Amino acid sequence: MTRLHVNGALGRLGRVIVQLAEMSGEFAVTKSGRGDAVGELVDGCDVVIDVSQPEASVLVADECARRTKPVVVGTTGHSADQRQGLQRAAQRTALLLAPNFSVGVNLLFWLTEQTAKTLGPEFDAEVVEIHHRLKKDAPSGTAKRLGEIIAQVRALSYETSVRNGRAGLVGERTSGEIGIHAVRGGDVVGEHTVLFAGPGERLELSHKASSRETFARGALRAAHWILARAPGMYDMRDVLGLAER
């Protein structure tokens, strides 16, 4: 039985991960939440899943790195400095960073990359995401990753190319723009659509999640996968074998 520690266990996703892990009979689960000291808890586990807050996830990753414990980070909204902190931890232990654990969303990442390569810059790219009213960060980590993929394919800088919504007299859309739009309301688990709009036609790639169990199952799959990995930075593409395609 795999000894799993879940940090952020009191959050919406954390609770579901704990529930499914315990029901599976494959994990012995320990938990921590905001303000808890995780050092000793990490000592007694085989793998950690973090679904907390950006600052906390960096601290947890560092604790895992000190003990060479693999860690799966599903927290989003990291700053550039916090991402660097995760990169440093990945030099000492296996770290999987996933803005979204859903198998379907990670296939969407891959399809977005292939579509952007095929259609080229003649097609304008826009991302629309919808989440529940309690979500704290915007755009979502998934929407940001979709924007990063498009920017990378088109040799653009994400920071200078992305337009997070538009208001006022902004002028005509340029070919180097990537629009990202965040909608918040109700109890929507998560919806993401990538639009590629060209002359006379439009292609839309969409994913809609109806249950957080989708993300929890992906997180547990990632935890199993990362157990035997060497130090380094991984993502869900590695888990699903999409990185090799």
Whether the full predicted model's pTM is greater than 0.75, yes or no, is yes
How far apart are the C-alpha atoms of 133 and 209, rounded to whole Å?
15
The 10 Å Cβ neighbour count of residue 25 is: 8
In whole numbers, what is the pLDDT of the chain averaged over residues?
A: 94
> Where do the domains of the chain lie, and which CATH numbers do they carry?
2-101+212-244 (3.40.50.720), 103-209 (3.30.360.10)
The 10 Å Cβ neighbour count of residue 94 is: 24
Q: Is 135 a catalytic residue?
A: yes
pLDDT classification of 145: cutoffs 50, 70, 90: very high
Dihedral angle, C-alpha 166, 167, 172, 174, nearest 10 °: -30
Q: Is 131 a catalytic residue?
A: yes
Q: What is the pLDDT of residues 170-189, one digit of tens each?
A: 999 999 999 999 999 999 99
- Of 131, 144, 192, 207, which residue is the catalytic one? 131
pLDDT of 191? 97
